[in-house]
Chains A and B, each alone.
Chain A
Amino acid sequence: MKVLTRRDFLRVSGITAAGLTLSRLGFDLTPAYVYAAELRTELRIKGAKETPTVCCFCSVGCGILVSTDKSGKVINAEGDPDHPISEGALCAKGASSYQIAVNEKRLSKVRYRAPYSNTWKEVAWEWALGRIASNIKKSRDKSFMEKNADGKVVNRTNGIASVGSAAMDNEECWLYQKFLRSLGLIYIEHQARI
């Protein structure tokens, strides 16, 4: 049996309104129901902008199409049918990636917890980055080792460590290790080690 994709179905049917009506009547477990459910998505993303991306979870590298409306808001995320690895399929996690974009629990402010405090405080980027930079300098200057116990030149910062991150893009990972190594860090680790 030839399996119709949603795109095929739209091509042959041309009856989007009928599909919707059927689904509202609740014809269960019929192909029409499935197509109609998909048609709702299709209507929802009508006129939307589709942007291809790749899933953020495991390393299979499945294609995702993200739809945004005219205001730039994410309104849908689904498998990319043109992608040769996933051919439109996504697992439960990938299929939920819409909820990463549209989620009221997202961190959207820079937060600061002062020593011995029991609360977060929202702060501005400028202030936070300035204070982090001054902390870095303080820790680095205090712990910088030009020569080790053997008297060999090592030029390193012993007092700062870093972990992360396989969640970043290649370019960001490269930039991050350049940043850390310029500071003199040797304790540089991330997910690959665990």
Chain B
Amino acid sequence: MGSNVAENHPVSFKWIQAAKNKGATFIHVDPRYTRTSAKADIFVRLRSGTDIAFLGGMIKYIIDNNLYDEFSVKNYTNASFIVNPKFSFDDGLFSGYDPTKRSYDQSTWALEKDENGVPKRDMTLQNERCVFQLLKKHYSRYTFEKVVSITGTPQEDLEKVYKAYASTSAPNKAGTVLYAMGWTQHTVGVQNIRAMSIIQILLSNMGIAGGGINALRGESNVQGSTDAALLFHIIPGYMPTPREQWAKLEDYNKTTPSTKDPRSVNWWKNRPKYIASLLKSFYGDKATKDNDFGYAWLPKLDKAQDASWLNLFDQMYNGAFTGFFSWGMNPACSSANAGKVRQALAKLDWMVNVNVFDSETGSFWQGPGLDPKKIKTEVFQLPCAAFLEKEGSISNSGRWMQWRWKAANPPGDAMPDGEIIYDLFKKVQALYKKEKGAFPDPIMNLKWDYETNGKFDIHKVAKEINGYFLEDIKEHPVDKKEYKKGTLVPSFVFLLDDGRTSCGNWIYSASYTEAGNMAARRKKDDPTGLGLYPQWSWAWPVNRRIIYNRASVDVDGNPRDPERAILKWDAVNKKWLGDVPDGPAPPMGTEGVYPFIMKPDGVASIFGPGLKDGPFPEHYEPLECPIEKNIMSSQRINPVIKIFEGAADTFTTCDPKYPFVCSTYRVTEHWQTGVLTRWLPWLVEAEPQMFCEMSLELGKLRGIQNGDRVIVETSRGKVEAVAIVTLRLKPFTIAGQTVHQIGLPWHYGWLQPKDGGESVNLLTPTIGDPNTMIPESKAFMANVTKLTAQPAKKSKKA
């Protein structure tokens, strides 16, 4: 669900086909019939933006028919935990809602603790305030009648999917889900994934071979760039960005997750070691115990500040920034409401744009509708090396960190990004040394020594990320062994909070050790026979290939599915066999540790406090939707989303001017905004121009034939496209009325190829999920009208 894996992650699809050959049932749920659907055993349609209704119905089906895995639900989840009596849910709102702030006071979304601070449980799952009963009650509302009415999916199709998927709760079966932006780009994006997580937990499909919830990431290293925290809210290794209320390192460390349950590992308790080691990797010898390891030098956010993408460009549009780096990106096409972004760029004093090819961002000042003579922005366009012209590692969707070797030199003056960053900072540092300036300490004290023989050396950065012992350690508290100053730490287990170790990103610690560069390994041994390949590249953390793998065994450490054993406890030798276990502790037994070691309670969260929009996923309509009333409740849209109210941000719902549900997507031959692929002749020949897919029924309604040129329009902008009138789309019946859906790819832009068409993001709204602020580009309202009946130069076959 939420992905078109055959077209957008084609090589992974060969493994789906291999699974099918071994008897797996392949289900595809999507608004549109794609090449993924063509290979599916079961394909069903749903209207864009209704996944929670679809999945909520499945949760109800699983509970009503007793199809959940009782062992796992009782032992490895918080189903038995008791919830605060003041927690409630009524007509679309959870307890604690403040309509003036559009946010919740979450204090009642809590689990009850006993006198020792350990969560209270009812292992019979009968207590009416236990998580399981609350779950049952919440989803009892997701009846077939309502789900059909919201999603437009016929009941027999729902039943087919629910039955087939629920059958994977048997311990000898595995069910996995592959999702992509079809789930994230919604105002309920996080809760879409939460809904599926709850299903996976109920069916015991987490932490097992062939299980899990798998994000099909769209960029080759978006996993790694997220791990490295190129995001406002985290610093490397998923630690929170410092905020004003945590003035000292001590205050920051007070927010370390804790538990009073002796059976919960709560691995995050080690966070003080990781932040101290991170600061040492930033400031080296200048970071001392006496100065809080330089913690004061890190920038702090305001108390509840959100500096994410949509807010960033809103601020830029309002003139808040003089300078801007667009490094290896093309926001003039990739951002929701791209028209607003293009205007925002004109408000800057200067912009640095680093790319392999020219882009609509670097050249925004000569774009359509803009007059260069009126644009002050000074633009630097820096040419960078392509992936095969430099050395370094990237991390794929499965967390495999794979090393890439340099095959050729970059053309002309182009340089690897790393070298550009390295040289640029040296220039900045020299300027501050010469001229002083505002608060120079973090610049002057930064450790910036990544050269070998006078040249930038990427291996030195890789080692910095892994971490070093900074002093001789006679007897390490972990293994009582001796470690020498200047050697690489074997793993994050050896990091300390006293300044004697450094580590740039704790989750990558163990990737580059005294034994060598683990990411560069190319051995293909596969001892489990499950395709884990533990000596091919390296996976974070500590080369664990399947996380939460302790959930795959019973309380005695025996694999629940002996045919697909990723882990097994060797009781004689007291050790785990198979994958790297989620912590070395012996199996859970009756007194051992719980399996989900990163969760403070040690178990998977069916009840999930911590998100802004509720502990259980609830269906709300997209911000722009085709129906007046949410069939589930009086709350039409997610009650906590931030509404942007500036002049460039307009929204329409149930407006006859924009009657069709619109979605955006990708094709195999292009990538993202096309910033690379629109310059490759082979790919442009295959997919030369913007198109708009619509059903035969809608074509008839609007008098549009296959191959006609059309205009697609929203309240934000319009784009031209070639019409593909096709059987792949069909109208939905939603709450008794006919709703049409259209779709367009988002790969194009005015710069290249000529006449290829504009960016579809001129249409999309500035609105985000309340937790992640990922924009809702998968469900908004648009109109489509015929422009000319002339057949396009290269018309497509329906």
**Contact surface of A with B, Cβ cutoff 8 Å:** 51-62, 64, 66, 68, 72-74, 77, 82, 84-87, 89-94, 96-97, 99-101, 103, 105-118, 120, 125, 128-144, 146, 148-150, 152-194
Contacts and interface: CB of A to CB of B under 8 A. Distances in A.
Given A141-B438, A163-B329, A171 B418 contact: yes
A53 B362 CA distance: 28
B408 A74 contact: yes
A96 B405 CA distance: 19
Contacts of A56: 220, 386-388, 676
Scoring B336, B404, B416, B420 by chain A CB atoms within 10 A of each residue's CB, the highest score goes to B404
Given A148-B244, A176-B228, 16 more contacts: A54-B387, A55-B387, A87-B14, A93-B668, A100-B388, A105-B357, A111-B362, A111-B383, A113-B365, A133-B424, A137-B437, A143-B322, A164-B329, A167-B221, A193-B772, A193-B773
Nearest to A147: B244
A135 B409 CA distance: 30
A192 B222 contact: yes
Interface in B306-323: 307-309, 312, 315-316, 320-323
A106 B297 CA distance: 39
Contact of A177 (B230, B244, B405, B681): B230
Contacts of B14: 87, 89
Interface string B387-403: 11110111111101110
B352 interface: yes
A86 B12 CA distance: 8
A141 B446 CA distance: 18
A74 B406 CA distance: 11
Given A163-B327, A175-B450, A109 B383 contact: yes
A97 B545 CA distance: 28
A165 B439 CA distance: 27
A113 B381 contact: yes
Contacts of B235: 177, 181
B522 A52 contact: yes
Contacts of A134: 431
B81 to A, nearest CB: 32
A170 B397 contact: no
B325 A115 contact: no
A109 to B, nearest CB: 5
A35 B464 CA distance: 47
A166 B219 contact: yes
B775 A194 contact: yes
Contact of A82 (B387, B420, B522): B522
A107 B356 contact: yes
B230 A190 contact: yes
Given A152-B244, A164-B328, A169-B390, A190 B431 contact: no
B413 A154 contact: no
B315 A161 contact: yes
Contact of B298 (A103, A141, A160, A181): A181
11 contacts: A93-B670, A99-B683, A113-B378, A128-B382, A137-B431, A144-B439, A163-B327, A170-B228, A174-B461, A178-B504, A190-B231
B608 interface: no
Contacts of A178: 282, 446, 504
B632 interface: no
B374 A116 contact: yes
Interface in B349-388: 349-350, 352, 354-358, 362, 365-366, 372-384, 386-388
Scoring A111, A114, A128, A187 by chain B CB atoms within 10 A of each residue's CB, the highest score goes to A187
B787 interface: no
Nearest to B524: A84
Given A165-B225, A178-B446, A107 B372 contact: no
A188 B321 CA distance: 13
Contact of A152 (B10, B245, B334): B245
Interface in B209-268: 216-232, 235-236, 241, 244-245, 247
A92 B522 CA distance: 25
A116 to B, nearest CB: 6
A135 B536 CA distance: 44
B382 A110 contact: yes
Contact of B231 (A90, A155, A189): A189
A59 B396 contact: yes
A118 B218 contact: no
Contacts of B380: 110-112, 128, 131-132
B243 to A, nearest CB: 9
B315 to A, nearest CB: 7
Contacts of B679: 99, 103, 105-106
A187 B424 CA distance: 19
Contact of B221 (A107, A173, A182): A173
Contact of A109 (B241, B328, B413, B775): B413
Contacts of B405: 51-53
B649 interface: no
B392 A116 contact: no
